[in-house]
A and B are shown apart, each in its own frame.
Chain A
Amino acid sequence: MEPSYPEPTRRPLNIYAIDPQAGDAPGNKVTINVPFERLLAGPAGSVVEVIDYDQTHGESYVPVDLERLETLIDGGLPHDEGDPRFHQQMVYAVAMRVIENFSHSLGRPIRFNMSGKGYQPLRLVPHAFEQANAYFDPELHAILFGYFKASEANPGRNLPGQTVFTCLSHDIIAHEMTHAILHRLRRYFMHPSNIDAQAFHEGFADIVAIFQRLTFREVVEAHIANLRGELASSSLGDLASQFGAALGKKQALRSAIDEQPPDPTKLSRTYEAHSRGAILLAAVFDTFVRIYECRTRDLLRIATGGSGVLPEGHLHPDLVSRLTSEALKAAQSLLNMCIRAIDYLPPVDVTFSDFLRAIVTADTELVREDRIGQREMLIEAFRQRGIFPQAVLSLAPESVRYKKLSAEVAQLPREVVKEFWQALSLQRAVERERQYAGRSEEIALSVERYSSAINFDADDGLNGIRPEGAELRRDRADDDVDALKDDRDSKSQLAVSLWKFADSHRELLGLHQDLRIQVHGFHTNLRISPDELLRPEFVITYTQVMDPSTLKLDFGGMPIIGGTTVIADAEGRVQYVIAKPLPDAADKELAEYGQRRLVAQANYVAELDARDPAFSWGSADYLKNRMNHRATFRALHGQHPAHGQGEGQ
């Protein structure tokens, strides 16, 4: 028998780093590498599949085959607006890059779950309909990209009336993918329970889109050469340029760079989700510029004989190259910091303050020594945008960080800790197979085994641990646990252990005394710190649902959810408890916090009502369920009256 060929690790694919409007601008037509996997025509892969069905016309477009000689040699199909197969390829490539950034930062694979069907690839529909819009639809388990004609009157650099494809914008693809992944990791963040929640979804999706683009060497290099190393005033921070111009906006859809110096009071005067999200993005972008400037100061001194003042004219290509490397490093490290923070966020009711504290905490855990003071720069940039950490003593990183529990406070059950070792050995096995085996089905199987053994979310179909069980009584929860005991599935056994742990630590975890506890998610992360140490951790999320009908406040049909994120080290010692309690939480202080949260949520419902034009003309049905109408990506992204069409992406 012939010896097998080693499986390649990367697959190069051509994409627009910006969009077709940018044309031949340097750095627009690039080739990126994505993790290799065997693909069927679509492309249909194991994590995403591109299905090119056009609802407006009831037709499908010919799928691209990326396993042919013609496409394997030269980064897939060449850049071509007129070939739908190039569109499919680009959507696949950008989506896979986002997934890779997440799994790399989080230290575990990202898989999507289709309601009732377990792990299933997410469907990407590049030409779903004729609309100036794109959005993720959890129910369809799909991201739908629209296409439309550019404004006749004011198309910017587009041809008047030309067709604009949202699926050819790197930023739009990355933005929607981020929505889908964030929704997978923190389903309740779509609940508009406070003014920041949906804004966080938007801002975070923008952050990933912009910073992923800033990890493309060609893009950054072109800017640095053009602007002589200056980043603060460049168009690097422009999001979805063609889309914005095509709508007649004369500019990018949003920009990470707005007025300088920033106005810290702007946040308190900004109410709409996308606009608030843009402020979050701007804060992170400011941090990026600070880090870049700090990292390149010495380079500039070396290049200028110590003065640090650049002479007139072009920069030396070597300097451009070195500056670019620093910018790429800064962008990647900031992107990783932001993504890692997701695990340190509470499972519900997120705020910008939570995000800031989560970034600082997660980063401290992984990167003990912060040599250039990135965390301080971040806190300062957020402060300048009016984002302050809540409930902290000062703006020092030690104080912004969540309080770390001492080692002996609580310990996860032994059988949970065992999972870590299993994870480690499974991951080794996967790597081994990747290296030596040639058959991809086996790898797929191992990955499947690996990821499902050590990770699950509430929507993964565990018996009894339903995310939105109707029964809220504690006795019922016990029944569920009993039912699970008979279940031989290791995941269910794990869920029982985790449930028991929470039940016996209600006070510590800020959980309600009587309400049923749901084990919402369990993840084992294997990350390598910059000093080459393995930093494993467990992340467990619990949620509790409260029946709003017993309360006098009007929540517009939205449930009241409390929840806690628990972070533990490899030995199962609980390190952080990040809680969004309900009123009547076991702990008195937390119970008061819960009460405040409840009132704030009701106030926010009233605030949204005040801005909702449909409220006046609405039927009784709409009024009863209005918050659930508002909690969809479609409402957030498209038709929602307050935003204007096309504000979505």
Chain B
Amino acid sequence: MKFEKLTANEIGIRMYRVGFGDCFLISFPGHPRRHKMLVDCGSIASYKKKSIDTIVDLVIEDARAGEADGEPHIDVAVCTHRHRDHVAGFAKDGWDKVHVREVWMPWTEDPKDPEARRILHAQASLALGLVQRFASPALAGDKYTDIANSAANALLDRYEQADELVEAKTGEDAKAALRVRRALIALNALSNDEAMETLHHGLSGEPERFFLPEKEQAGSARRTRSFTTSALPGAEIHILGPSRDEDVIRDMDPPCGKSYFRAAPLEGEEPTGGWPAFGKEWLVPSQAAKSIEINFANPFTADERQRLAQMNTLDPSILAASLDSSVNGTSLMFIVGFKGKKMMFSGDAQWGTWRRALDDPEWRDLMSRSRFLKVGHHGSHNATPTEYVEEVMPDGQGNFAMISVRPYEKWPEIPRKPLLKELAKRAEIVRSDEEGADVAAPFQGDANYVDLVIPV
């Protein structure tokens, strides 16, 4: 597909092969020029060693296509949420030359919203804490530490170098790999300041920033639910989430506060001590311990103290997974309608956002008429509810779904096979890791992307 060759009756959707991440460019018919929307640009692990810099160059090149002034133009740049696998590309060079009219982000990015700032701060500090812990010298004495450290550093610099470690299966490498995989998840949630700086303050053309959905405000037209914009003439946008509902916000709150994190040692670590709850005068001296224990029917045995200690450690994998989910929970979920064709982009929206959308009769109806789906969270189970697939998703000809993913053996549920199977029953689906030659019509693939043309 060539963007400049698309006709006035065609919408073009391009999924870049970013590996484990998301990057989509959509081209809408227009006059005198077509209009473009970019949805995310990031990756945490590349596809066939193609770095995110290369992807960014490709995107900018495509943004130039068909423009009379030869400059790169993106009418709307969307950041669904600030996970590295969705925004890393914005930290690269070149964006200051790209003309953008509007930037859309979830409301949790609004610097003027105190609730948004609170959530962001909580997520970022937990992520930072986790990454520091995974690559911490406090783990000294552990012979795998060096490997883990260098791998984590490698992750921070160049993801590609870590790839082999992430996949390592045996021996010392395997143990380090476990730690790296955890770091990878946590790292994803770091505040990604450089990339966010571009979205918030960078880009050319002084784009207007919108934090969606906006709060109701009497007397002014706000983008609370559905709206149109001169940046994308002919398109109608519906913002399905994230809701500002208390329950949804709770899911955005990371699992543990800082104090909790400081005190509770991670698996394999010694407790750090913390501060004493009471002064020394309240402690039972060790020589008196026996005379006190005698009072109890069941003083704690050594085994039981062990269990207690174990319960007092955090499972870093669960912590990292929860953090991941909280950030995904901020995902902007929206539907774009153009000449009756509706396309749904769900970011990595999680259960809470989906639940609210499915419970809303208007959104439910819209979803049932959306014939394109950007499958959330690389095809994992919790970003596409069964209820949506079985009860809401339209059936029949002319449905399409795109999945941007690169599988890891150790994460057997990404993408989730039963979900893909169910999706395939209802839509033509394609994955970004399918070899160019394997991509079946109506999709077209080459080394860098998978394309879809939707006639309108």
Closest CB of chain B to A263's CB: distance in Å? 13
**Bound CA–CA A639/B256 (angstroms):** 8
Q: Are B321's CB and A62's CB within 8 A?
A: no
Known interface pairs A51-B299, A130-B264, A151-B257; A613-B321 also in contact (CB < 8 Å): yes
B182 closest partner in A (C-beta)? A617
Q: Are B284's CB and A60's CB within 8 A?
A: yes
Closest CB of chain B to A593's CB: distance in Å? 24
Chain B residues in 8 Å Cβ range of A171:
none
Contact with B along A116-138 (1 / 0, CB 8 A): 01001101000111111100010
Contact with B along A76-114 (1 / 0, CB 8 A): 000000111000000000000000000000000000001
Q: Does B317 contact A (CB under 8 A)?
A: yes
Q: Are B312's CB and A618's CB within 8 A?
A: no
Q: Does A459 contact B (CB under 8 A)?
A: no
Q: Are B257's CB and A128's CB within 8 A?
A: no
Known interface pairs A40-B295, A141-B298; A613-B324 also in contact (CB < 8 Å): yes
Q: Are A609's CB and B264's CB within 8 A?
A: no
Q: Are B381's CB and A609's CB within 8 A?
A: yes
**Bound CA–CA A57/B278 (angstroms):** 11
Query: Which one of A16-24, A268-276, A426-434, A563-571 is at the B interface?
Result: A268-276
**Bound CA–CA A133/B377 (angstroms):** 31
**Bound CA–CA A137/B263 (angstroms):** 21
**Bound CA–CA A248/B253 (angstroms):** 12
Q: Are B308's CB and A128's CB within 8 A?
A: yes
Contact with A along B114-158 (1 / 0, CB 8 A): 000000000000000000000000000000000000000000000
Scoring B247, B277, B314 by chain A CB atoms within 10 A of each residue's CB, the highest score goes to B277
Chain A residues in 8 Å Cβ range of B296:
40, 42, 44, 49, 51, 123
**From B257, B351, B359, contact of A247 by CB (8 A):** B257
Interface size range on A against B: 35 or more
B263 closest partner in A (C-beta)? A130
Known interface pairs A114-B298, A141-B298; A615-B308 also in contact (CB < 8 Å): no
Known interface pairs A148-B260, A639-B319, A641-B325; A51-B355 also in contact (CB < 8 Å): no
Contact with A along B278-299 (1 / 0, CB 8 A): 1000111000010010011111
**Bound CA–CA A619/B181 (angstroms):** 12
**Bound CA–CA A617/B414 (angstroms):** 8
Chain A residues in 8 Å Cβ range of B318:
614, 639, 641
Q: Does B330 contact A (CB under 8 A)?
A: no
Q: Does B195 contact A (CB under 8 A)?
A: no
B384 closest partner in A (C-beta)? A610
Q: Are A41's CB and B259's CB within 8 A?
A: no
Closest CB of chain A to B303's CB: distance in Å? 10
Chain B residues in 8 Å Cβ range of A132:
257, 259-260
| Residues B172-187 near A (CB distance < 8 A) | 185
Scoring A42, A140, A272, A641 by chain B CB atoms within 10 A of each residue's CB, the highest score goes to A641
**Bound CA–CA A45/B423 (angstroms):** 61
**Bound CA–CA A623/B380 (angstroms):** 14
Q: Does A604 contact B (CB under 8 A)?
A: no
Closest CB of chain A to B405's CB: distance in Å? 12
Known interface pairs A54-B277, A56-B271; A617-B307 also in contact (CB < 8 Å): no
Closest CB of chain B to A188's CB: distance in Å? 23
Scoring A54, A147, A610 by chain B CB atoms within 10 A of each residue's CB, the highest score goes to A610
Chain A residues in 8 Å Cβ range of B410:
619
| Residues A557-614 near B (CB distance < 8 A) | 606, 609-614
Q: Are A41's CB and B284's CB within 8 A?
A: no
Q: Are B411's CB and A616's CB within 8 A?
A: yes
Q: Are A139's CB and B278's CB within 8 A?
A: no
Contact with A along B346-362 (1 / 0, CB 8 A): 00001110010001000
Chain A residues in 8 Å Cβ range of B254:
644
Q: Does A399 contact B (CB under 8 A)?
A: no
Q: Are B317's CB and A614's CB within 8 A?
A: yes
Q: Does A425 contact B (CB under 8 A)?
A: no
Contact with B along A613-649 (1 / 0, CB 8 A): 1111111100100000000001000011111111100
**Bound CA–CA A123/B299 (angstroms):** 9
B307 closest partner in A (C-beta)? A140
**Bound CA–CA A276/B367 (angstroms):** 28
Closest CB of chain B to A626's CB: distance in Å? 11
Contact with B along A306-350 (1 / 0, CB 8 A): 000000000000000000000000000000000000000000000
**Bound CA–CA A646/B264 (angstroms):** 14
Q: Does A163 contact B (CB under 8 A)?
A: yes
**From B277, B282, B312, contact of A62 by CB (8 A):** B282
Known interface pairs A59-B283, A141-B298, A610-B386; A644-B412 also in contact (CB < 8 Å): no
**Bound CA–CA A130/B313 (angstroms):** 11
Known interface pairs A132-B260, A148-B260, A639-B318; A644-B253 also in contact (CB < 8 Å): yes
Chain B residues in 8 Å Cβ range of A381:
none
Q: Does A149 contact B (CB under 8 A)?
A: yes
**Bound CA–CA A397/B359 (angstroms):** 33
Q: Does B8 contact A (CB under 8 A)?
A: no
Closest CB of chain A to B359's CB: distance in Å? 6
Scoring B259, B273, B276, B283 by chain A CB atoms within 10 A of each residue's CB, the highest score goes to B259
Scoring B304, B325, B381 by chain A CB atoms within 10 A of each residue's CB, the highest score goes to B325
**Bound CA–CA A53/B256 (angstroms):** 24
Chain A residues in 8 Å Cβ range of B377:
616
Q: Are A623's CB and B273's CB within 8 A?
A: no
**From B257, B263, B278, B320, contact of A61 by CB (8 A):** B278
B271 closest partner in A (C-beta)? A56
**18 A-B residue contacts at CB 8 Å?**
A56-B274, A120-B298, A121-B298, A129-B264, A129-B311, A137-B311, A144-B308, A148-B259, A609-B381, A610-B351, A610-B385, A611-B352, A619-B412, A644-B253, A644-B254, A645-B256, A645-B257, A646-B257
Interface residues of A, Cβ cutoff 8 Å to B: 40-42, 44, 49, 51, 53-63, 82-84, 114, 117, 120-121, 123, 127-133, 137, 139-141, 144, 147-149, 151, 163, 165, 247-248, 269-272, 275, 606, 609-620, 623, 634, 639-647
Given A55-B308, A129-B264, 13 other A-B contacts at CB below 8 A?
A51-B299, A53-B300, A56-B273, A57-B273, A61-B277, A61-B284, A62-B284, A130-B259, A131-B263, A140-B308, A609-B382, A616-B321, A641-B325
